[in-house]
Every structure is written in structure tokens, then in C-alpha cells.
Amino acid sequence: MARGERRRRGAPADGPRTTERAVRGGPARRGGEARGSAWRAALGVVVLSLALGLSGCWLLAWHRARRAVTLHSAPPALPPDSSSPAVAPDLFWGTYRPHVYFGMKTRSPKPLLTGLMWAQQGATPGTPKLRHTCEQGDGVGPYGWEFHDGLSFGRQHIQDGALRLTTEFVKRPGGQHGGDWSWRVTVEPQTSGTSTLPLVSLFFYVVTDGKEVLVPEVGAKGQLKFISGHSSELGDFRFTLMAPTNPGDTAPKYSSYNVFWSSNPGLPLLTEMVKSRLNSWFQHRPPGASPERYLGLPGSLKWEDKGSSGQGQGQGQFLIQQVTLKVPFSVELVFESGSARARGSQPWEQLAGSLLTRALESHADTFREHFEKTFQLKGKGLSPEEQALGQAALSGLLGGIGYFYGQGLVLADMGVEGSEQKVDPALFPPVPLFTAVPSRSFFPRGFLWDEGFHQLVVQRWDPRITREVLGHWLGLLNADGWIGREQVLGDEARARVPPEFLVQRAAHANPPTLLLPIAHMLESGDPADFAFLHRAFPRLRAWFSWLYKSQAGPVPLSYRWRGRDPALPTLLNPKTLPSGLDDYPRASHPSASERHLDLRCWVALGARVLVRLAEQLGEAEAAAELGPLAASLEAEESLDELHWAPELGVFADFGNHTRAVQLKPRPPQGLVRVVGRPHPRLQYVDALGYVSLFPMLLRLLDPNSSRLGPLLDVLADSRHLWSPFGLRSLAASSPFYGQRNSEHDPPYWRGAVWLNVNYLALGALYHYGHLEGPHQARAAKLHSELRANVVGNVWRQYQATGFLWEQYSDRDGRGMGCRPFQGWTSLVLLAMAEDY
């Protein structure tokens, strides 16, 4: 754009010079015709230059926009059809709907879905509260998985007021379509000895996308005998809802039944559809007891086709059975695959009743044994209660794994930061994503920088799941090597995201934390890991190449996060969302002169991992390309030159900065940023906190480094980063500590304790505590003390609330932010196991 502007300014300047030559008797004296020809020729050159310039700009913009939504051409990291029942039958079915309290689906672009809703009848006036999707403010909780192996088995407890629900599932392999599975849902009073037992309705449902065939058969009193079905992926199958019993008993318990069958209104609308149909009163009449009224669904199996409103059979079917009875009780739902039932010569037995009980207990025992073998918490002397926390941390993470499919919205990188060129977001190609999620209630979708931390835990438990997850994330690469930092795929995910966060910008990066589990794979010695890395290497290389080239800083070996917020008058410090640290203070006045320390460290780590990987795989050309970059970034002299701030005594960002900024009330605008003196200038940014520690956190410093001691000093100082509950994200001595970023934006990374960075700190302290050097003893001591603080506080808060939290207060240790947050807070398990 700038070069084109200079050309346009230069061309007309020839006109006056030509006129001047004509007056002085130069070549233009040939007469009016000659002068006219010269003018026409000059004008033609100008028009042609403009046309070529404009068309070139347009073609470049079109090319960039197209590449942004074109999948990368490298071979996939996973084998073809890796999610199909033929290739991975044991992973085909799963609790891959983390945003609902309980539900299962297939790993398929067009899945068969099942789910559970419930309501306590008569607890409140009017329509009972219908529970379905995990919400922050619905009053349910605590809830979470006690056990979940990520594969075949899980047990979850949910507290809802006076009720305690236990949801369990187990899978049984067999056949060619993913095998059988069974649920057990138990509802009991929260406290024993309750005089008035509540009346509760459970709603079991099945949803199809239009290609599966469902044939329900209803018996007496609205009870479904079973649902038969068929699809190309599942073959023949059958659902059977067993008669409710008292917990631990086999005798049926009196129940009332209602059923509803319609076209699928769209997955985000299921809850509202059921609420709208709970509009008729029915009588629950157990023999020998007084009847009670309850709100139920229409009482007969009558198809309601919404085709007239554009929601017809093409969108599939929604079939739901309501079961109403007095607590306590248990209900079982059995799914049977036709190909599994027909297998072999062994007698077939339905996975229900006592057989289901034995299967659940057997899997629970196997889980406990595998857990202790993997993490050795009992062997390390941790209490049974602490071991239970570790099991819940792992299980909540595994139970939060989802399978998503859809198209994201992408805004292309036009190549000129701050360009006024208007480009509309475009749809990315349809892609699948198998991933854990940070929070079932608040962030039930994939986040790139979270996922690397998630997989550090998962790969210790089941490396195969980690390979599947990493392979799916690498499948999201666009033609340039970019991966969107937040993946909003499918209607259910999109319905829970504010519109302003739907669009991902192809110029914005995210910390490459997927390289953390990749680095662990390099040490595993597992042939399956090595085979995966061999397939994944071209994509890993393309991703890293895009990162270090697209985020290059103003001077060699410096890097800058693209995508900082503009300096709006309402923001104390413009946020840097691509960094993952959001409102962590950066230079007060964003500019292209910034050098971001954390990003440089991530690139240094990435170069180190990619070079090691290339050498192990025999990729000589890649090792030769990345080796010099890795060596330069490893050199402490260049890190010192760009980021050591002598006046601060620590590493720091660099940019156009002043401390003299604050938010002040200015009616009617509200809080407005006021900049005082000294005025901003290019300098190191005095924001002591997590960013300052990154050279140590990622173990980039030599154990004999003269910079390690000062970092340990600020880490261990309670005036700065040390707290009884973990390391603060921002020093208590910082002017930004605990400060709002705007009137409506409370502090986030400005003092609170975060588990992911505390885990990195623990790993670094453990690392330096085991290497000979002047700081070895101190690092080991700080590791022991920090581990006790972090683990102890997470355990106390879990005991008090039943939740793992997004962050923890550095003042009193209480859980803050969203919950449950069994994403990277599950790293507490690795801290307990001292596995870094």
C-alpha cells in the first residue's frame, strides 16, 4: 500500500517538468500535436500503473483470503478414517458432549446422540427446573466425574439441591460398529432420613440427523418397550429403557411414563422444546399411596413434524421418554449393536442388572489399579482424600473430551497490520476435532493453548488418546500453517459463544503448547509415539514455521504477538488475547516496536523441540534449516540484549510505555484512561509477573546462568510473586496488580494464581534442583515449598466446594472464575505425582 502510494505521487510530478521544458524550448517545442501525444502517453502509463497496482492488490488479497480457508496439503497425521468404528471401535462411542450433564455420541460428522434431562416435580411453583446443559448459574453442584477412563467407563456424581444423582456408563466391545453400552442413573435424597421424598422426572432422549431410522415401540401407559434403528455407520441397533428399581434391588418400582416424538428442532433448541411441551398435568398413582400431580410431555407416541417451519425430517428425529417416580431409584438404558449381538458362539446376555453392576465394579477396580501404577500417589504417601482429588482431576479432564464437527469463521491476514482493507470472514472447510475442553459449563470447546497442558496429563494415562487429539488439532492447519486459537465447530458450540468471539483471525497466533506433549513423546521410547511423530512432522514444521515467521519482531530474534487490542480510551492496558495471558500488562501504547518476552521463549522452545525431532527422524534438511535459529535463540547473550532490563533486575517486554496510566471516572463515559507524566517512550515494560519468569519456566537458562538467581529472588519474595497459595500472575508490587482493565472488565491475569504457569514453575524448579549449579539447593527447596502451597490450596478448595477452579485468589486461596475447570487445573495431579 505504501509503495503504491509513492508511485501515485511520483507520476503526476512529470507533468509540470514537461511543461517547464516546453517553455524553455526543449523537446516539447515540436508543437501542440507532439505535446498532446506526450500527455496521452504519460496518462496511459499512469492509468496502466494504477490498474496494475489495484489489480495486484486485489489479487494478493484474494490469494490471502483463499489460503486462510484452505486446508494444508501435508499428509494427515492420523490414518484415514481414524475415528470410524472399523479403525477405532473402542473410541467410537463416548461421552463426547461435555456441555451436557450426561450424554453420549459417536465420533462422526453426523452422529447419533443420546442424553439425559431431569426435573424435580413440585419443588417450585410453575414449570419445574429442567436440567440438561452444564451452566454456571443454574444452582447445580458440585458435580463431576469420580472415575472416567477416557475409553469405556465412567461414574459421575451430581448434586442438585436435595437430590444426588449418580450417572454411570460402561461399554462392551464386539461387532463391527463400536459395540454395546449401558447407562445407570441413580437418584437419591442428598441427606438420609428425609421425611418427604421428592417426585422426580428423568428424560432419556435420542436424536438423529435425518439419516438414521428410528422405530419406537410403545407398550402400556406410554412406556417405550424399545427403540429399534439403523444407520450406515451403526448398522442395526436397539435402545431399551429398563424398568426402574430401588437402588441395589431388582424389583420394579412404580413409575409414570410420557413420551414425545418430533422432528429434530436443532441441538441448541432441545431444552427449550422440552420445556415448552411440559404443559399438561398428569397423575402419578402408586398403589396404596396418594396420587400426586406432575407436569408431563404429551401422553401418546404421536409424531410431530415441524416440516412446515423448515424443520422437517431432513433434520432428523427427536425421541424422548419421560419417567416419573419417587426417589430413591435407579434406571438403566441399554444400547445394543446388532453386529455385537450376533457375534461368535458365546451366549449373549444383556448388559443390565447384576451383569452391569459387576462390569461397573470391575472397571472401577481396573481404574484404581491403573491410576496408582501411573501416578503412584499412594506410594508417595498422599492421603486417600488427596488420591481421590487426583482421580477426580484426571477423570474430569477425560470426561470433558468432546468430538466436534463443523465450520469455523476465519478472517484472513491481509499482510498489513491495521490495514483499512475490508474483508468479510469466510467459512473454514468442515473439519472434525477430538479435544478436551477447559470447562464443561463455560468453555465447552477447543482452545489451542489450553490443549497442550491438557495432554500433558492425558498422555501419562493413555498416550493413544493424546495422539488422537494432537492429530486432530494438526488437521486444522490452513495452507499457511496457521491454527485458529479457539475452535467453535457445530451448532451446539456456536450457540454458547458470543458473536464477537466467533471469528478467528488468521494473523493471530497462540502459545504453541502442543509442543509440550510432543517433547514428552520424544522421551517416551514408545514406537507408536515415534510412528505418529513421523507422520505429524510435516505439519508440525509448517505450524512452527508460520509461527516464527508471522510473529517476527522489529529486530532479529525478537517476536511480537499480533492482535493486541487498540489503545481505546476505556482500556487501562490494551489486552493481548493471542498470548493467552489476556490482560497481563504489556507496553501501555501498542506499537510495532514491541518485543514480547514470552513469545520469544515459546519460539525458542519450539525451535529446540523441532530440531530434536528432525534429528531423531532423520530429517536433515529441516534440522539444517532450524538448527541455526535454535542455536541463536538458545544463546543467552541475544536474550540479554533484547530482554534483560538492568533497571528492573529481571527479563521484560520492550515497547512504547509509561507507568503513568490509570482509569478515572469521567461522566457520562464512565471510567476513562488518563495518561500522565512521564510520557510514553521506548523502554522495558515494568510489569513483574509470569512473563518475567518465562526464560526459567521453559528451562531456557543454563543452571549456571547469572540471571537465574534474580528470577528466583522475585519468585520467592512475598512482596512480588510468592503467596501461600501459589505464584501470583502479577507482582503485588505492580501498579497494575488487581486493577480492572475497564469498567466492565475485572482483573484476570493481574494477581490471581493459575495452575498452568505454576505447573511450569514447579517443573522448572524441579529441573534446576536436579542439575549441578550455584542455585541447585535453593531451587529444590522452593520446589518443595511451592508444591505444598499449590497442592494444599487446590485440595482445600476442592474439599470446601467440590470443584476445581479456573484460578485461585492470591489473598485467601479461594477458587475464582468459572467452575468446574478441569482443564489445565487438572495439572494438580502431575504436581502431586512430581511428574514434570
Mapping DSSP to helix (H, G, I), strand (E, B) and coil, where does residue 657 land? strand
Scored b (16 or more CB within 10 A) or e, 254-272 reads: ebbbbbbbbbbbbbeebbe
Residue with cell 439403523: 230
Is the pLDDT confidence value at 469 over 60? Answer: yes
Contacts of residue 544, defined as CB under 8 A and 6 or more positions apart, other chains included, come to 481, 512, 515, 606, 607, 610, 626
Is the pLDDT confidence value at 815 over 60? Answer: yes
397-448 pLDDT per residue, tens: 999 999 999 999 999 987 666 554 578 999 999 999 999 999 999 999 999 9
Mapping DSSP to helix (H, G, I), strand (E, B) and coil, where does residue 87 land? coil
Mean pLDDT of 793-813: 98
Parallel, antiparallel or unpaired: strands 303-304 and 256-263 = parallel
- Asked whether residue 772 is assigned to any structural domain, the reply reads yes
Contact, 389 vs 795, CB < 8 A? Answer: yes
146-168 pLDDT per residue, tens: 999 999 999 999 999 999 999 99
Mapping DSSP to helix (H, G, I), strand (E, B) and coil, where does residue 230 land? strand
Q: Where are the beta strands (DSSP E) in 772-814?
A: 807-808
End of a domain among 297, 321, 342?
342
Is the pLDDT confidence value at 767 over 90? Answer: yes
Structure confidence at residue 630 (pLDDT): 98
> End-to-end distance of the chain based on CA atoms, in angstroms?
49
- How many domains does the chain contain in total? 2
Closest CA to 399 of 367, 369, 351, 431: 367
- Asked whether residue 723 is assigned to any structural domain, the reply reads yes
Is the pLDDT confidence value at 1 over 60? Answer: no
Closest CA to 542 of 487, 479, 473: 479
- Asked whether residue 155 is assigned to any structural domain, the reply reads yes
Q: How confident is the model at residue 24 (pLDDT cuts 50, 70, 90)?
A: very low
Question: 526-532: long-range contacts (C-beta < 8 A, 24 or more apart)?
Answer: 526/463, 528/463, 528/464, 528/467, 529/463, 529/467, 530/616, 532/77, 532/467, 532/470, 532/471
Scored b (16 or more CB within 10 A) or e, 117-154 reads: bbbbbeeeeeebbbbbbbbeeeebbebbbbbbbbbbbb
Angle in degrees, CA 425, 430, 436, rounded to 5: 100
End of a domain among 290, 310, 342?
342
CA distances 37 to 13, 19, 33, 207, Å, are 18, 13, 6, 76
- Asked whether residue 489 is assigned to any structural domain, the reply reads no
Is the pLDDT confidence value at 307 over 80? Answer: no
Percentage above 70 pLDDT, the chain: 89
Residue 441 DSSP symbol: T
Residue with cell 470426561: 399
Cis upstream peptide for 703 (omega within 30°) = no
Active-site hit among 168, 480, 619, 806: 806
- Asked whether residue 110 is assigned to any structural domain, the reply reads yes
Structure confidence at residue 5 (pLDDT): 33
Is the pLDDT confidence value at 14 over 70? Answer: no
**Cell numbers representing residue 226 in the block:** 424399545
Q: Which helix (H) or strand (E) holds 171?
A: strand 163-172
Active-site hit among 372, 582, 702, 717: 582
Contact, 609 vs 670, CB < 8 A? Answer: no
**Is 385 known to be catalytic?**
no
Q: Starting from the edge strand earliest in sequence, which strands make up the sheet with 224-231, in order? A: 143-148, 153-160, 163-172, 180-189, 329-337, 235-241, 224-231, 213-218
Q: How confident is the model at residue 455 (pLDDT cuts 50, 70, 90)?
A: very high
- Asked whether residue 765 is assigned to any structural domain, the reply reads yes
Contact, 561 vs 597, CB < 8 A? Answer: no
Mean pLDDT of 51-58: 63
**Is 369 known to be catalytic?**
no
Closest CA to 395 of 170, 171, 168, 145: 145
Closest CA to 162 of 178, 185, 139: 139
Q: How confident is the model at residue 213 (pLDDT cuts 50, 70, 90)?
A: confident
What is the DSSP code string of 35-75?
Answer: HHHHHHHHHHHHHHHHHHHHHHHHHHHHHHHHHHTSB--SP
- Asked whether residue 727 is assigned to any structural domain, the reply reads yes
> Domain of 316: which CATH number?
2.70.98.110
Parallel, antiparallel or unpaired: strands 503-505 and 409-411 = parallel
Mean pLDDT of 29-55: 57
Alpha carbons 312 and 263: distance in angstroms, whole number = 6
Residue with cell 488420591: 387
Residue 563 DSSP symbol: -
**Cell numbers representing residue 371 in the block:** 491410576
Is the pLDDT confidence value at 52 over 90? Answer: no
> Domain of 741: which CATH number?
1.50.10.10
355, burial (CB in 10 Å: exposed 0-12, middle 13-18, buried 19+): middle
Structure confidence at residue 669 (pLDDT): 87
Contact, 213 vs 219, CB < 8 A? Answer: no
Contact, 210 vs 313, CB < 8 A? Answer: yes
Contact, 548 vs 629, CB < 8 A? Answer: yes
567-615 pLDDT per residue, tens: 999 999 999 999 999 999 999 999 999 999 999 999 999 999 999 999 9
Q: pTM value?
A: 0.92
Is the pLDDT confidence value at 464 over 60? Answer: yes
Parallel, antiparallel or unpaired: strands 213-218 and 224-231 = antiparallel
End of a domain among 342, 373, 397?
342
Mapping DSSP to helix (H, G, I), strand (E, B) and coil, where does residue 412 land? coil
Mean pLDDT of 83-89: 95
Q: Which amino acid is at 776?
A: Q
Contacts of residue 43, defined as CB under 8 A and 6 or more positions apart, other chains included, come to none
Contact, 447 vs 489, CB < 8 A? Answer: no
Contact, 322 vs 296, CB < 8 A? Answer: yes
Closest CA to 513 of 463, 460, 568, 452: 452
- Asked whether residue 724 is assigned to any structural domain, the reply reads yes
* Exposure on the CB side of residue 439, measured as CA atoms within 13 A: 18
Mean pLDDT of 108-128: 90
Structure confidence at residue 734 (pLDDT): 97
Question: 634-637: long-range contacts (C-beta < 8 A, 24 or more apart)?
Answer: 634/604, 634/608, 634/700, 636/701, 636/702, 636/705, 636/707
Q: What is the mean pLDDT of the chain?
A: 91
Q: How confident is the model at residue 235 (pLDDT cuts 50, 70, 90)?
A: very high
- Residue span of the structural domain in which 198 resides: 93-342
